[in-house]
Amino acid sequence: MGGEDVDATREADPAWLALHAEREALERALTLAQARQKFSSDPQTAAGARRDEAELLVSLDRVLTLIRAAEYRRRPNARRW
């Protein structure tokens, strides 16, 4: 039953929801950038999409790190640094 309480708290936490919304938006943008690279007949558009992909990957890594940190903090007896 304790895990259910953590899940309910996680779902009610606006910061948690915001992180996952940002992750979802980044994943969608990343998919579009990859499609622009793959299907563009214009080399400049494909190059711009590659740059966008690199920036989006950095942002996605940042958000996933924040999500992992938030998950860790929710664990019972989590260590604080």
Identify which of 30, 21, 19 has the alpha carbon closest to the alpha carbon of residue 70.
19
CB within 8 Å of 41: residues ≥ 6 apart: none
Question: Tens digit of pLDDT per residue, the chain (81 long)?
Answer: 445 545 555 556 888 899 999 999 999 999 999 999 999 999 999 999 999 999 999 999 999 999 998 888 777 776 666
Task: Give the C-alpha separation, 35 to 31, whole Å.
Answer: 6
Look at the pTM and tell me if it is higher than 0.85.
Answer: no
8 A C-beta contact, residue 64 and residue 23: yes
